A and B are shown apart, each in its own frame.
Chain A
Amino acid sequence: MKTYDLLQQTYAALSGNKVRSGLTMLGIIIGIASVIAMTAIGQGAQNSIQASIQSIGSNLIIVMPGTERGPGFQVSAGRGSAQSLTIDDANAIAANVTNIEAVAPQVSGRYQVTAPGTNTNTSVDGVTSSYTTVRNVEVADGSFISDQDVAGNARVAVLGPTTSDDLFGTGSEAVGQQIRIKGQPFRVIGVTVSKGGSGFSNADDVIYVPISTAQLLLSGNKYVNTINVSANDAQNTTQVQNDITSLLLERHHISNPASADFNTLNQSDIIATASSVTGTFTTLLAAVAGISLLVGGIGIMNMMLTTVTERTREIGLRKAIGAKKKDINRQFLTEAVMLTFLGGLIGVALGWLGSFAITKLGVLDTSVSLDSVLLAFGVSAAIGIVFGYYPAKKAAEMSPIDALRYE
């Protein structure tokens, strides 16, 4: 039997009962559409999380103080609480480690900030000019902290857009105004571009001051909280991270890496962790959608069994005029696969439209991957074969005599 004839017969059989074929297909359509939409949403979430991690900086390695070490015993006062890093460490990294784009030491703290008529409590970061390179900070108005500001312990401040709005009101000019941080007067010289984000980890609710001024007037010591290092290429981040670790171990006279008084964090590690979390969620969503696909498959099997019973006499006739088992088997299997394949096609289109709608509504930038489309097609065809197999086998193995006599 030729393929063309097989397809024509399949078309005739399926179009002979359009409503039933349509309803049966609906199960597969819903299943495939939800698999496509769910993976697209998961992929979108993953992309958005990765993008926000990328926005922290490029090829970033963060060095933070480790657990505080006492003589002979260990006082665990929390990670990052120790005072072990200095500006000299940052300068040593810049001088000795290769493949580095920029090094930006940072002193952080939360202080009460006042402007005429208002006050707020926000994080104040003492930084150097290279902070803009390392953490992707851009200035919208005015200028950022310069090397001269750091050298001269200048009392200048750059505000995040949220802080600027909190202190001076939305839309009003902040540059040139005076504010007080921990009671010390500072002049506002710039406002940064919004980085997005909200709530607890709002990257826009921040004030930048020169690191020297922060050490002198705010923290009152020579230590730094963070050293941000940016590698010149994503491929070099691991090498840079390893070099920093050995350099600082040497500088701090620590022989055992396990008892290091600092930690290094690689941005690509963070991304990998976040990706694996979102990946798990995507799989979970797809699995739930997959269950609906399974239900759709059972619907196909149910319909095919009904069809085989209804068309018993036709099967008998086909056998009488010379159809072999494999001809009958192929005929019913093709019908089942055609149902799931068409269902898959419509399902992919619907899932795609759904993802597109979600993107258009601005909920999330979804992304339909080619992989998920191919997978959906493969799965729908496989469902046709798996759930069409038993009814087709049943049809093929009918005795022509019994089938012809069937009432």
Chain B
Amino acid sequence: MIEVQNITKVYKTEDVEFSALRGVSFTIKDGEFVAIMGPSGSGKSTLMHILGCLDTPTNGKYLLDGKDVSTLSDDELADIRKNKIGFVFQAFNLLPRTTVMANVMLPLVYDGINAEEREKRAEKALASAGLDKEYFTHLSNQLSGGQIQRVAIARALVNQPSLILADEPTGNLDSKTSEIVLGTFQKLNTELGRTVVLITHEQDIAEHADRILFIKDGLLEERGTHVKRVANHNAEEETAGTVGSLASPSKIRVLPDHKNNKGEARLPTLPAKK
């Protein structure tokens, strides 16, 4: 569970102070799929860095699984990242000229887990991410964009983190591949019960989540767009259908909101899940 209490982040250069976050508070429960959405410069990247324990807030508290991580040292943060957080990046960031398996096993290497156990866990993670077994021994630069992002998702899963953080995971993908990747996230959330936080600037991407946190100018405006999802416990071929059925109802509800955004007309704000 994530609890963020009134965090601020101030960047100081020699003569300019810039507040990227100006007091943000929210809670994300275990097993939730939340999107953080905002235009560039809104502070969503800074928020993502703090949630991912890559950075610490200037003020305020960040409780991850009940532990305050906002004042930890660099090495302690590294341990939290290793054990509790899985990252998926826009730029994929796989090691080049390295096999899919080696890439997925990399977080476990830093955990000192033996080779046999590593392979077992990596294969499981890759299966969860929906990559076909035939690609396991391919080099990372021999894969397509969608396949690469699945490897990255598997890598984020492999250390069984309590939180999967995806930073613009579909930013470099075409719309069809994006749907598949987002479907994978939804599956992780519904089937494996993983907490997923998706950072994006695109409304239709954010709509795949249970709840959307809107951020603008360093402040949160929680408009709460809940998407009733159809549970999917079946095989992979149903994913596409599921994604479609997921996307449709959300669009009906949210698109008007999106269009009316500038006109100040909003749907009534739903209370955040507590």
Contact = CB atoms under 8 A, between A and B. Distances in A.
Interface of A: 1-2, 5, 9, 12, 16, 313-314, 316-327, 400-401, 404
B139 to A, nearest CB: 11
Nearest to A5: B109
B89 A321 contact: no
B155 interface: yes
B55 interface: yes
A400 B54 contact: yes
A320 B54 contact: yes
B54 A322 contact: no
Contacts of B95: 314, 317
Contacts of B82: 321-323
Nearest to A314: B95
Given A316-B93, A404-B93, A321 B81 contact: yes
Contacts of A322: 78-79, 81-83, 107, 110-111, 159
- Interface of A: prevailing SS: helix
B87 A320 contact: yes
Nearest to A313: B93
B138 interface: no
Interface string B86-107: 1101010101011000000011
B52 interface: yes
Contacts, number: 67
Nearest to B155: A321
A324 B87 contact: no
B188 to A, nearest CB: 17
Given A322-B79, A401-B49, A1 B91 contact: no
B55 A324 contact: no
A321 B111 CA distance: 10
A273 B102 CA distance: 63
Interface string B110-125: 1110000000000000
B81 A320 contact: yes
Contacts of B55: 401
A375 B236 CA distance: 62
8 contacts: A316-B93, A321-B110, A322-B81, A322-B82, A323-B82, A324-B74, A324-B79, A401-B55
Contacts of A1: 109-110, 112
B83 to A, nearest CB: 7
B93 to A, nearest CB: 4
A16 B75 contact: no
A318 B52 contact: no
Given A400-B54, A401-B49, A323 B89 contact: no
Interface of B: 49, 52, 54-55, 74-75, 78-79, 81-83, 86-87, 89, 91, 93, 95, 97-98, 106-107, 109-112, 155, 159
B52 A325 contact: no
Nearest to B114: A2
A319 B78 contact: yes
Nearest to B106: A321
A323 B159 CA distance: 13
Contacts of A325: 74-75, 78
A393 to B, nearest CB: 14
A323 B80 CA distance: 11
A404 B74 CA distance: 16
B112 A2 contact: yes
B34 to A, nearest CB: 20
Nearest to A323: B110
Nearest to B94: A317
Nearest to A326: B75
A1 B82 CA distance: 12
Contacts of B52: 320
A326 B110 CA distance: 11
A2 to B, nearest CB: 6
A402 to B, nearest CB: 10
Contact of A16 (B78, B79, B93, B97): B97
Contacts of B49: 401
A404 B167 CA distance: 12
A9 B55 CA distance: 27
B112 A321 contact: no
A401 B55 CA distance: 8
A324 B55 CA distance: 14
B266 to A, nearest CB: 33
Contacts of A320: 52, 54, 81, 87, 89, 93
Contacts of B75: 324-326
B112 A317 contact: no
Contacts of A319: 54, 78, 81
Given A1-B109, A5-B109, A324 B93 contact: no
Contacts of A326: 75
Given A16-B97, A322-B79, A325-B74, A313 B91 contact: yes
Contacts of B87: 320-321
A327 B74 CA distance: 13
B78 A404 contact: no
A12 B98 contact: yes
A387 to B, nearest CB: 25
What 3 pairs between A and B have smallest CB-CB spacing?
Answer: A322-B82, A321-B107, A317-B93
Contacts of B86: 321
